[in-house]
Amino acid sequence: MSNQSEQNLMLRIMSIGFSFNFLLGLVGSFFSPDSYPQMICWQAGDSMAIMACILASRQVGVRGQNIAAGGFTLLGIAYGVSFASSSIQSVNEEKMATIILPLVPALFLVSFCKFFPAWLRYGSLLIYVPFFFMYFNIIQGTYSPDNLSNMLAYTGIQILGVFWSVFIYKEYQKPQPQ
């Protein structure tokens, strides 16, 4: 397989990973909280996001965006924390709250990616807000799966992943100077 073909395949797999993360998160939200189908959807979505983040890291790093590449690697770790917070039929809320710890620096670093328009770079930073509310609710003991901050946090970051893949793919399509 040529380098060009492999990069094209890598971009397609990355885009599929971010898209499936969004779709599986959405589908999982229609099942009752902490049910087996919901957990399977969310765990599969987290797995897709981990894969997509690692591939995004590789792609943006090859294009000279090394700070953002580190951010995508750290974001893959944050998705790993999310994955580890769920079992077959429940979410460990205390463990889930710790996603904020690697998420904040990850999104800060991703926001340095020059492939992204300003609105997407700022959106990458603003997604902290609902995650902080979710974190606050968990440590205060007021967490509820139906909380608006949960939906905004996870749906927001999943939508960001889809947008990131679009702009990474667009950058790949541009001719690179030799």
| Tens-digit pLDDT profile for residues 49-86 | 999 999 999 999 999 999 999 999 999 999 998 887 77
Query: 153, 151, 150, 147: which is closest to 107 by C-alpha?
Result: 153
Residue 12 lies in a domain: yes
10 Å CB burial of residue 168 (0-12, 13-18, 19+) is: buried
| pLDDT digit string, tens, across residues 102-133 | 999 999 999 999 999 999 999 999 998 998 89
pLDDT tier, 15 (very low <50, low <70, confident <90, very high otherwise):
very high
- Dihedrals phi, psi of 35, to nearest 5 degrees: -85, 160
Give the total number of structural domains in the chain: 1
pLDDT of residue 3: 84
pLDDT at 95: 77
Spatial separation of the C-alpha atoms in residues 22 and 171, rounded to whole Å: 22
Residues 6+ apart with CB under 8 A from 137: 143, 144, 147, 149
Residue numbers of the domain that contains 107: 3-170
Show contacts of 168-171: CB within 8 Å, 24+ apart.
168/11, 168/14, 168/56, 168/59, 168/60, 168/115, 169/11, 169/15, 170/115, 171/63, 171/115
Do the domain assignments include residue 128? yes
Assigned domain for 51 exists: yes
- The first and second tokens of residue 106, run together, are 């990850």
Question: Does a structural domain hold residue 43?
Answer: yes
Taking the C-alpha atoms of residue 124 and residue 110, their distance in angstroms, rounded to an integer, is 7
26 falls within a domain: yes
Query: Does 178 fall in a domain?
Result: no
Percent of the chain with pLDDT over 90: 62
Any idea of the CA torsion for 56, 76, 36, 27, to the nearest 10 degrees?
Answer: -40
